[in-house]
């Protein structure tokens, strides 16, 4: 974690789990979010537990604090209907091989206007 702070100037925080270890403790999220929070990222479906996280609620809370959201949908996209407009997420990613595509490719959805708010530290693929 210290490497990210030193290299990119970011501080990573983690949402606690409930006592059963199977769900996000959304009460802990409220203590983590501040006006300085820039990005909240989480997985939609855990590939370990199969837990479906309440991403709409997390997205709403993040947006209330002015933070962008990035959803890892690698486990959910192949098994669920995903509507990024309905979710109101800012960024959503998943890998091609989870959709029976070739390995080594991925998909990044970016809500219109987000590209003006972020400056990726590195990138790849096509530049338009």
Given a cut of 90, is residue 60 above it in pLDDT?
A: yes
Q: Are the CB atoms for 109 and 92 separated by under 8 Å?
A: yes
Whole-structure pTM over 0.85, yes or no?
no
Does residue 124 belong to any structural domain of this protein?
A: no
Residue 80 in domain: yes
Inter-CA distances, 84 with 35, 48, 72, 98, Å: 24, 24, 12, 18
Element (H, E) at 2: helix 2-8
In the chain, the number of structural domains is 1
Query: What CATH number corresponds to the domain at position 68?
Result: 3.40.640.10
Q: In this structure, are residues 26 and 54 in contact, taking their beta carbons and an 8 Å threshold?
A: yes
Decide if pLDDT at 74 tops 80: yes
Range(s) of the domain holding residue 50: 2-112
Read off the pLDDT of each residue in 88-102 and give the average, rounded to a whole number.
83
Cα–Cα dist 105/96, whole Å: 5
Helices (H) and strands (E) counted in the chain, each on its own, are 4, 4
In a domain, 19, yes or no: yes
**Predicted confidence (pLDDT) at residue 128 exceeds the cutoff of 50:** no
Residues 22-39 pLDDT 10s: 889 999 888 999 999 999
Q: Is residue 120 part of a domain?
A: no
| Dihedral (CA of 101, 106, 111, 113) sign | negative
């Amino acid at each position: 974690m210290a490497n990210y702070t030193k290299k990119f100037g970011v501080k990573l925080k983690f949402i606690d789990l409930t006592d059963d270890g199977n769900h996000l403790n959304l009460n802990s999220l409220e203590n983590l979010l501040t006006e300085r929070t820039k990005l909240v990222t989480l997985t939609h479906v855990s590939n370990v537990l199969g837990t479906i996280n309440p991403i709409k609620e997390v997205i709403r809370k993040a947006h209330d604090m002015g933070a962008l959201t990035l959803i890892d949908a690698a486990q959910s996209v192949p098994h669920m209907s995903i509507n990024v407009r309905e979710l109101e997420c800012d960024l959503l990613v998943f890998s091609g091989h989870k959709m029976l595509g070739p390995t080594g490719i991925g998909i990044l959805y970016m809500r219109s206007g987000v590209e003006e708010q972020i400056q990726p530290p590195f990138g790849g693929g096509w530049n338009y």
